[in-house]
Amino acid sequence: MALLEGRNLRKTYRLSRRNTVEALKGVEVSIEKGEMVAIMGPSGSGKSTLMHILGLLHTPDPNHGPAPELFLGGENMAALSDNERTKIRARRMGFVFQDFNLVPTLTAIENVMLACEYAGVRGKQAKQAAEEALGLVGLADRADHKPSELSGGEQQRVAVARALVNKPELILADEPTGNLDSDRSAEVLALLRQFNREYGQTIVLVTHDSEVGDSCDRVIRMRDGRIRDQGTRVGTPAMAAAVAVPA
Ligand SMILES: Nc1ncnc2c1ncn2[C@@H]1O[C@H](COP(=O)(O)OP(=O)(O)O)[C@@H](O)[C@H]1O
Ligand SMILES: [Mg+2]
């Protein structure tokens, strides 16, 4: 079953009155539950724009040709208010970015707990969940360190802990290993793969690294605002049954 289904996804950025960039020119994409999918393509081909739309951070253009559709677990996201989209993002999705995006003034555990708070989990329960998530990424002993006191690889593992602390169905990662050396990249990737296998989390990640792409179940290739190859899945998607979906 598809976890994510998008059709007619278009996005045009207006740079000035006359100058626009068509970042997405009508994309159709379907991601199965439990899949770990890589999105690859040249810089500027629309990968991040697509990730932002799939992650409900941006909305597709409503008025260029056929109406855009975006379904998450069969539910139409286009019909939701901003408020509802924010809630879904906080509870059902986790994000990992190339530049980690940690709050510099907060410790590792506070950064992770912030994601709990957004999802409506607070206090002792949040602390416990954050400790557990930091344990899963091997950083239990760094909980009280600020980002500046951690290496790049460690910071990205904190970001991974933050992405998965609410046990989301979907993890979206935009070049998560783009700022890491090859050993650190392999660690972060192994973690994502582990969560995919153990908890059936669906993972969509953007990468420039063909080795990373090869380690995924499928590679979607983009060029010039379009998907030019949906890729062929190797193996079967991980079982999604183990994921706790918050009501
Ligand atoms: N906020 C923005 N404003 C204007 N143009 C943008 C914006 N974000 C992306 N673009 C443009 O849209 C195109 C696709 O960008 P992006 O989705 O970031 O590609 P990728 O992630 O594949 O490098 C590029 O030409 C980029 O310059
Ligand atoms: Mg990008």
CA 131 centroid distance within chain: 21
- Report if residue 151 sits inside a domain: no
- Report if residue 162 sits inside a domain: no
User: What is the pTM (predicted TM-score) of this model?
Assistant: 0.92
- Report if residue 213 sits inside a domain: yes
- Cα dihedral 101/107/109/111 (nearest 10): -30
- Residue nearest atom 16 in ligand 1 by C-alpha distance: 46
**Ligand 1 pocket, residues with Cβ under 6 angstroms:** 13, 15, 21, 23, 41, 43-49
Ligand 1 atom at minimal distance to the Cα of residue 206? 21
- Report if residue 33 sits inside a domain: yes
CA of 216 to the centre of ligand 2 (A): 18
Phi/psi at 220 (nearest 5 deg)? -95, 130
pLDDT (tens digit, 9 = 90+) per residue, 15-52? 998 999 999 999 999 999 999 999 999 999 999 999 99
Ligand 1 atom at minimal distance to the Cα of residue 46? 17
What domain range includes position 55? 2-104+167-229
- Report if residue 198 sits inside a domain: yes
Listed in sequence order, the residues at least 6 apart from 5 whose beta carbon sits closer than 8 Å to its beta carbon are 29, 30, 31, 69, 70, 71
- Report if residue 150 sits inside a domain: no
CA of 23 to the centre of ligand 2 (A): 11
- Report if residue 60 sits inside a domain: yes
Which segment of 2-11, 196-205, 238-247 scores lowest on mean pLDDT?
238-247
Strands, sheet with 2-14, edge to edge from the N-terminal-most edge strand: 20-32, 2-14, 69-72, 75-76
Contact 219, 189 (CB under 8 A): no
Partners of 222 in the β-ladder: 227
Number of domains in the chain: 1
- Report if residue 134 sits inside a domain: no
Contact 176, 98 (CB under 8 A): yes
pLDDT (tens digit, 9 = 90+) per residue, 127-150? 999 999 999 999 999 999 999 999
Amino acid in position 175: E
CA of 171 to the centre of ligand 2 (A): 16
Whether the per-residue pLDDT at 240 is higher than 60: the answer is no
- Cα dihedral 125/127/177/11 (nearest 10): 50
Q: Which long-range contacts (CB under 8 A, 24 or more apart) does 58-61 make?
A: 58/11, 60/6, 60/8, 60/9, 60/10, 60/11, 60/24, 61/10, 61/11, 61/12
Q: How far apart are CA 208 and CA 110, in angstroms?
A: 31
* Res. 239 pLDDT band, cuts 50 70 90: low
Amino acid in position 196: N
**CATH number where 179 lies:** 3.40.50.300
pLDDT (tens digit, 9 = 90+) per residue, 199-216? 999 999 999 999 999 999
Contact 167, 136 (CB under 8 A): no
3-state SS assignment for residue 20 = strand
| Count of helix runs (H) and strand runs (E) in the chain | 7, 10
